Amino acid sequence: MDDVHGVGMAGPLGPYARGFAAELARLGFTGGSARKQMGLAAHLSRWLCDAGLGVADLAIPVVSAFLVARRAAYRDLLTAKALVPLLGYLRGLGVAPQPESPVPQTVAAVLLEGYRGWLLTERGLEVKVARGYVDLVGSFVAVHAVGGEAGLRELSAGDVTAFMIAQSRRLAPKTVQRLASALRSLLRFWHVQGLIGGPLDQAVPKVANRPPGLPQPLQPSQVAALMASCDQATAAGRRDLAMLTLLARMGLRAGEVAGLGLDDINWRRGEITIRGKGNRLDALPLPADVGEAIASYLRDGRPATALDRSVFTRIRAPHQGLTPVGVTQAVAAAARRAGLGVIYAHRLRHSAATSILTGGGCLAEIGQVLRHRRSSTTAAYTKVDIEALRALSRPWPGAS
């Protein structure tokens, strides 16, 4: 029996105990968290021994059976997520089986998988974007794939229109717009593949949707309150302050903050490279206050055990790069601390644009800061300054 972190490890996982402890240290787990992980591994090792199983049997069904047994005896670390560090370590060594990719079982699943592959390889979409397209058209494929490829050849423009009309009755207009785009894409793919008789993408109706109003911008005092809520004596506070400064000063999106890498900051030239939508790269000047906030976090906040080159990482181990959701959650937490209610990251982007306009800037400057591709997108900010618009309006005929 090997004893690591005060936890005895007997059974099939015993030979891997010290290596797993070293992996936990590399991932940045604290002593207490590492001890819990070792305890979980010890329980799994005992369970495997009692069941007459070994490390090579740790496929998904066996892991699920273990978790059922654990829930009956323990109150913590009860989900598959808790086993991610251990299984990742064992799979990396090649001693535990890799998770199997599900094999499509139905005609609809096969068709959707083919469409997803086309989006990834031929269209160059990101994995998350492709998954969104596939999810949107899933119900359409399920209905019309019943007859297989032969049934698809009977698909008509009326079927496409009827589907869109039915969906428009239950979905929000913006969602219907996204569905129309995804369905056109699917029908173009099927036409290229020869699965349908004609270019039915032209049968997808255009969806009218009144552009939504802009979010209410934050006042300068509210932005200052968000910043002040970050405890700069802690690593989390320095990280959150740096992210808030990027969002409020440069108008970045949450995904752009999350995607920022260490190599994207050129300190000598005072530039920062932003990875925007559609893999667009923009080199922008790095404001002094933004640079100071990031530098403070990198010196005294970013963990030495960070697992990648992301600027902003999780506070708790494993110290992986933050996701866009993580950035948004950090903004929401700051808003709660400041007593400002519900505020998310994108509202800071609009606040940055509004501050330019109210400070005397023009729409072209807003478009440059927000990196809009179309001037029509920036034109939405004309409604922000109503008093400035009054000077452009003509008096009503007959009014005194």
Instruction: List the catalytic residue out of 131, 191, 371, 372.
Output: 372
Q: Which residues contact 18 (CB under 8 A, 6 or more apart)?
A: 2, 4
Is 253 designated active site? yes
Instruction: List the catalytic residue out of 35, 91, 346, 371.
Output: 346
Instruction: List the catalytic residue out of 5, 43, 238, 349.
Output: 349
Is 277 designated active site? yes
What phi and psi, each to the nearest 5 degrees, are found at residue 272? -135, 135
Is 128 designated active site? no
What phi and psi, each to the nearest 5 degrees, are found at residue 297? -70, -40
> Which sign does the torsion angle of CA 114, 120, 123, 126 carry?
positive
Residue labelled with tokens 């996982």:
13
Element (H, E) at 174: helix 173-193
Instruction: List the catalytic residue out of 238, 253, 319, 347.
Output: 253
Rounded alpha-carbon distances, angstroms, from residue 3 to 27, 95, 96: 20, 21, 22
For residue 34, count CB atoms less than 10 angstroms from its CB and return exposed for 0-12, middle for 13-18, buried for 19 or more: buried
Is 372 designated active site? yes
Q: Which residues contact 228 (CB under 8 A, 6 or more apart)?
A: 338
The three state secondary structure string of 177-235 is HHHHHHHHHHHHHHHHHCCCCCCHHHHCCCCCCCCCCCCCCCCHHHHHHHHHCCCCCCH
Q: Cα–Cα distance between 5 and 10 in angstroms, integer?
A: 14
Instruction: List the catalytic residue out of 277, 280, 316, 336.
Output: 277
Is 349 designated active site? yes
3-class secondary structure, 315:
coil
Is 16 designated active site? no
Catalytic annotation, residues: 253, 277, 346, 349, 372, 381
